[in-house]
A = this chain, B = another copy of it.
Amino acid sequence: MRADFDHITIDQLRAAGGLKWTAYPDAIGMFVAEMDFGVPPPVAAVLRRAAADGALGYPTGHDLQALREATSGWLDRTTGWDVPAGRVHPLPDVLTALRQTIRHFTPDGSAVIVPTPAYMPFLTVPVAAGREVVQVPSRVDAAGRYSLDLDGIDAAFAGGARLLVLCNPWNPVGRVLDREELLAVAEVVERHGGRVFADEIHAPLVLDDRPHLPYAALDERTAAHTVTAVAASKGWNIPGLKCGQMVLSNDADAARFAPYAEDAGNPLGLLGTRAATAVYTDDGGWNAEVVEYLRAGRDLLEDLVAEHLPGAVLSHLEGTYIAWLDCAGLGLDEPAAGFFRREAGVALTDGAACGDGGAGCVRLVMATPRPILRRALKQMGAALTRRAG
């Protein structure tokens, strides 16, 4: 079966009331990391059953164990990473896992390294936890391909930072890091006895023909220095259900976290628990169909940028549905997101919000029906033409 989301309309999306389609009622929304493709049937079934049963109590021990086992099974099936169910700690989301990692697995007061461009909250969550963020701008080539600045990360560890936030697949620049790159990170981390928080929430959204490699699963060193966070939020489009999983990959971390595990998991809701369990177990092929649709959309977006935005550099989207577009070559005299919002009716995220090195770029969520993608890029191109003319 080949999924066809082409028929979904902007009116339907606005009526559903999501953030991306209501914050700017007159614009095409491409700034929130949500997909416009609805949710998998097993998720809808979880909600309908709860409504029918009138059962919205606390998650049971059975619910939580089922989620741990489903997460373990899904990781093993899709990446070959063999994680015992007991090492999976359900909690509301990846950011909660980051807060727990900072608290329990780094020294008090130590700084947190965030390679940029970064998912915006990685710049603020450590600060809210009382920590300094050390931004390390990444390298980028003329084609818009990003790579980590290992020297910069090395220097940040040498300066006293103890935790590296490693987001792979990489929101917002769309890279899927390969084994060689990940092992090079491990060398740097090991040199300093540092720790890694591996955000792998986009693991189910690799578009290129290459595997997602869980960082902690690379070797004994990475297993020993990593805390991993995953979630069904992105791959199955259920961020509002707030269910993430923190995976511990060594005995010492497991022992250290054990006294806090129940407390950390307490804010978890019932429906997210059951929905994540359902899709990790059997999503009826929904994620695979979505990935196929996104892959074709990514190819289309590359054509559309070439046609409508000559001069802009679109980073090749290896994974995630978040496209990164360098607009420096467009000759705008203002931030591109503001220009396109006002002149093209397209709402994007200003790259500057993603940290050092992001200015001049925009973050464009392309998980939308192809007709809407075409329309957005056409409007952006027309705005540029009007400006030039």
Contacts and interface: CB of A to CB of B under 8 A. Distances in A.
Interface in A25-49: 32, 34, 37-39, 43-45, 47-48
Contact of A269 (B39, B52, B241): B241
A31 to B, nearest CB: 12
Contacts of A93: 266-267
Contacts of A47: 47-48, 50-51, 271
B240 A270 contact: yes
Nearest to A35: B57
Contacts of A17: 53, 55, 60, 62
Contact of A241 (B20, B45, B259, B270): B270
Contact of A62 (B22, B44, B62): B22
A19 interface: yes
A260 B44 CA distance: 33
A271 B240 contact: yes
A29 to B, nearest CB: 11
Contact of A259 (B23, B53, B128): B128
A211 to B, nearest CB: 28
Main secondary structure of the interface of A (DSSP, over half): helix
Contacts of A270: 240-241
A389 interface: no
Contact of A267 (B20, B37, B48, B95): B95
A281 interface: no
Contact of A54 (B44, B128, B260): B44
Contacts of A45: 51
A44 B51 contact: yes
B22 A238 contact: no
Contacts of A239: 56-58
A59 interface: yes
B269 A15 contact: no
A32 B56 contact: no
Interface size class of A (residues with CB under 8 A): 35 or more
Nearest to A270: B240
A18 interface: yes
Contacts of A95: 266-267
B57 A34 contact: yes
A330 interface: no
Given A44-B54, A60-B17, A267 B240 contact: no
A269 B237 CA distance: 13
Nearest to A129: B263
Contacts of A263: 124-125, 128
A96 interface: yes
Given A92-B92, A128-B263, A267-B242, A53 B19 contact: no
A306 interface: no
Contacts of A55: 16-18, 38-39, 240
Interface centre among A18, A56, A267, A270 (most CB of B within 10 A): A56
Interface of A: 15-20, 22-23, 32, 34, 37-39, 43-45, 47-48, 50-62, 92-93, 95-96, 121, 124-125, 128, 237-242, 259-260, 262-263, 266-272
26 contacts: A17-B53, A18-B60, A19-B58, A23-B61, A38-B53, A39-B51, A39-B54, A39-B56, A44-B54, A47-B47, A51-B51, A55-B240, A57-B240, A92-B92, A92-B269, A93-B267, A121-B266, A125-B263, A128-B263, A240-B270, A241-B269, A241-B270, A241-B271, A267-B267, A269-B271, A269-B272
Given A18-B57, A34-B57, A39-B56, 12 more contacts: A17-B62, A19-B57, A19-B58, A22-B62, A32-B57, A37-B54, A51-B51, A55-B240, A56-B240, A124-B263, A125-B263, A269-B271
